[in-house]
Amino acid sequence: MEEEKEINNVKKVNKDKEEKIKEVKVKEVKEKNKLPKDKIIIIIFIVLSLIAVVTFIVLDRTGLIKNNKASNEGTNITLKHTATNDNYSEGIYMTDVSDVVEEVMPSIVAITSKTLVSSGTFGPSFFNQNQYSEGAGSGIIVGKSDTELMILTNNHVVEGAEELTVKFIDDKSVDATIKGTSERKDMAIIAVKLSDIDSSTLENIKIATIGDSSKLKVGQGIIAIGNALGYGQSVTTGVVSAIDREVTTDNYTNKMIQIDAAINGGNSGGALLNAKGEVVGINSLKYSSGATSTSASVEGMGFAIPISDVSDLIEDLINGKEAEEGATLGVEGYMTTSMYTGSNLPTGFYISGITSNSGADKAGLEIGNIITAIDGTEVEKFSDLSNVIYDKKKGDKVTLKIAYVKGREYKEKEVEAVLS
């Protein structure tokens, strides 16, 4: 029995050893297969990265990810706009201007002028042959005294008119008279007696707000209102195409605002507005086909007088002061470059007429002389001559370089003239 018990104990010991050996081997296998923590982290990162890449590709192909780059496949890019009127007027193209127009329209009038074009009688007085032409223009209400309403317009709208009629926003018409004009600046103030205006009309009209044209920028949105072709007030919009554009009309050169808003006959004297509804210019003229030497048609070239350039003049005219038209040399003529292309005439201003007792007359200038320079400035275009003179006052002296014919050729001399 003792032997059998000992044998059993030996077997049990051996069995315990075998189980411990198995546990050790299993543990060694587990330890061998176990990865370090840093390697596990790297593997997790790689797996997550692969998942992210695959997800991005799938979303991109399905169009769920928006591309910020501009494309030609219908991607809409929304621009950030400011909501204030100040920034709006700095150059954003205007679409809906109805509120501005509604506010300003009571300040705009239509002007009809009647000018005598011929006169004569045949037989009895009832066969009077006087013939009149009617013209259409526009005006801006800019002031009011105790007895009169003051309206700003262009001089060429009212020049030579024997009768003037103003139509207000309520379509009621009243006679007007010329209070003051400036031919040089193409400005005029006409007046309507307050006593001639119905009380209901007085309630409907208002005085326009004057803006600052010096703050205009190229590309800025503008509004033009006027009595186009005499059909009544019409509204067009556009942008400032250029500023300080030199334009010569009736031998006067002025700096103007170029606009692309449509203006036509009858718009003259009307208002050019900024987005705030302030008057920044007076619509005055447009270039049309045939008005230039080019054969191409002309579109979108209108011009307005900058309001800030004439604000002092307007106040003078309103207050009955005579406009200071500046000094004159007293000559008429044309540029040789435009009238004698291809000839051997010197470049300059060809004198075709001289005013009696003018500075030119007293300086001994003659018809046929050519002014090639003034105060050291070569006269290559009319504005070279006119701009120097316009900056002078009556009694100022100018030095002229004159080309004159001697024998069969032109000679040059300098002449001093006193402006009148």
- Catalytic sites, residue numbers: 156, 186, 268
8 Å CB contact between 208 and 103:
no
Please choose, from the candidates 116, 162, 115, 113, the residue with its C-alpha nearest in 3D space to the C-alpha of residue 138: 113
Distance separating alpha carbons of residues 143 and 149, to the nearest angstrom: 6
Cβ-based neighbour number of residue 2 at 10 Å? 6
C-alpha distances in angstroms, 25 versus 31, 32, 34, 36, 106? Answer: 10, 10, 14, 20, 105
Q: How far, in Å, are 124, 211, 308, 313 from residue 320 at the CA level?
A: 42, 23, 20, 11
| DSSP element (H, E) containing 193 | strand 187-193
CA 369 to chain centre: 40
DSSP labels, 235-269: EEEEEEEEEEEEEEETTEEEEEEEE-S---TT-TT
- 131 with 199: CB under 8 angstroms? no
* 3-class state of residue 60 by DSSP: helix
263 phi/psi in degrees, rounded to 5: -130, 150
Residue appearing with tokens 């046929």: 368
Instruction: For residues 333 and 183, give the distance between their C-alpha atoms in angstroms, rounded to a whole number.
Output: 18
**Angle, CA 248 vertex, CA 342 and CA 136 arms, to 5°:** 125
How is 364-417 classified by DSSP, letter by letter? T--TT-EEEEETTEE-SSHHHHHHHHHTS-TT-EEEEEEEEEETTEEEEEEEEE
